[in-house]
């Protein structure tokens, strides 16, 4: 079981590097914002798997908080790109 | 048994994640990338979280409940964020890629601006767009 899980963790890290490529390369600002959002979702999956492997349930608390913050950041940056305030 | 089902769900979820991130690297413009990456990564992450919940099963109730909560949250928020981002990208003026065939959003946007009285030049463009559309249909 440990072998499968470490292979999956390595695959998720590879996904994270693809997102980092898009964040660095991305021709426009929405590209970068989107890649940051996707990276946050990947980190949620990674953290949940770490929680399963190690057996500590507080890893899932980190995942929940990260999902929340990444959602708020994506909405705020989208509104900023649109040229409007957060409460419009 | 639970371990096996969980491992299968996690494996399928990781496959979706990898394909979504490949789309993020390979596709030509921001809207293509957005639709590929968001849908695949949302589904993949949800499958991973459900797989974690099933694998943890009876061993840890906290792990199961928290990961299911997390899956619900991702399903609800990820499409909302992606929609807001796509609209923000369009209104901040990011162009479609050269291979694009149609842009149905353009006409409605200019018409909305014309109705709001924001842009006089937009009125002509909206009229042209709608005339062209009624001729073709």
pLDDT of A16-63, one tens digit each? Answer: 999 999 999 878 888 999 999 999 999 999 999 999 888 888 999 999
Range of the domain at B108: 102-137
pLDDT, tens only, B24-40: 999 888 888 998 889 99
DSSP secondary structure code for residue A88 in this structure: -
Which residues of B are less than 8 Å from A14 in CB distance? 18, 21
How many domains is chain A built from? 1
What's the CA gap between B24 and A29, in Å, rounded?
Answer: 14
B41/A41 touch (CB, cutoff 8 Å), yes or no: yes
Residues B86 and B112 placed together within one structural domain of the fold: no
Complex confidence, ipTM: 0.89
Q: What is the pLDDT of residue B116?
A: 59
DSSP secondary structure code for residue A26 in this structure: -
Q: CB within 8 A of A46, min separation 6: which ones?
A: A9, A12, A13, A16
Q: What is the pLDDT of residue B77?
A: 93
Q: What is the pLDDT of residue A71?
A: 92
Residues B93 and B32 placed together within one structural domain of the fold: yes
Q: Specify if A59 maps to a domain.
A: yes
Residues B44 and B7 placed together within one structural domain of the fold: yes
Average pLDDT over residues A59-85: 88
A66–chain B Cβ distance below 8 A for any pair: no
Residues B88 and B112 placed together within one structural domain of the fold: no
Q: Specify if A38 maps to a domain.
A: yes
B91–chain A Cβ distance below 8 A for any pair: yes
Q: What is the pLDDT of residue B131?
A: 64
Q: CB within 8 A of A16, min separation 6: which ones?
A: A39, A42, A43, A46
**Ranges of residues in chain B whose predicted pLDDT is under 50:** none
What is the DSSP code string of B3-44? HHHHHHHHHHHHHHHHHHHHHHHH-SSHHHHHHHHHHHHHHH
What is the DSSP code string of B41-73? HHHHHHHHHHHHHHHHTTT-HHHHHHHHHHHHH
Helix (H, G, I), strand (E, B) or coil at B113: helix
pLDDT band at A84 (very low <50, low <70, confident <90, very high): low
Q: What is the pLDDT of residue B119?
A: 54
What's the CA gap between B40 and B30, in Å, rounded?
Answer: 15
Range of the domain at A46: 2-82
Residues B94 and B106 placed together within one structural domain of the fold: no
Q: What is the pLDDT of residue B93?
A: 77
Residues B18 and B85 placed together within one structural domain of the fold: yes
Residues B82 and B114 placed together within one structural domain of the fold: no
B38/A34 touch (CB, cutoff 8 Å), yes or no: yes
Q: What is the pLDDT of residue B19?
A: 93
Q: What is the pLDDT of residue A66?
A: 93
Find residues 97-136 of chain B whose CB sits inside 8 Å of chain A: none
Closest CA to B41 of A69, A60, A12, A42: A42
What's the CA gap between B83 and B35, in Å, rounded?
Answer: 9
pLDDT band at A88 (very low <50, low <70, confident <90, very high): low
pLDDT at A65 over 70: yes
What's the CA gap between A34 and B112, in Å, rounded?
Answer: 26
């Amino acid at each position: 079981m440990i072998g499968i899980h470490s292979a999956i963790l390595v695959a998720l890290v590879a996904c994270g590097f693809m997102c980092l490529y898009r964040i660095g390369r991305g021709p426009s600002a929405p590209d970068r914002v989107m890649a940051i959002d996707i990276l946050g979702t990947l980190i949620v999956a990674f953290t949940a798997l770490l929680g399963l492997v190690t057996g500590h349930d507080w890893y899932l608390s980190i995942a929940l908080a990260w999902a929340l913050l990444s959602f708020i950041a994506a909405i705020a940056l989208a509104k900023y790109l649109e040229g409007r305030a957060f409460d419009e | 048994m639970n371990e096996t089902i969980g491992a299968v769900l996690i494996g399928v979820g990781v496959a979706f994640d990898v394909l979504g991130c490949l789309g993020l690297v390979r596709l030509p413009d921001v809207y293509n990338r957005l639709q590929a990456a968001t849908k695949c990564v949302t589904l993949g992450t949800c499958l991973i979280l459900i797989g974690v919940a099933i694998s943890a099963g009876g061993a840890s109730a906290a792990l199961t409940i928290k990961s299911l909560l997390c899956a619900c949250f991702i399903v609800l928020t990820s499409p909302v964020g992606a929609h807001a981002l796509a609209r923000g990208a369009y209104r901040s003026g990011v162009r479609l890629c050269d291979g694009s065939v149609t842009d149905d959003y353009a006409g409605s946007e200019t018409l909305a601006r014309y109705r709001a009285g924001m842009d006089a030049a937009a009125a002509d463009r909206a009229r042209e767009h709608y005339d062209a559309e009624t001729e073709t249909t």
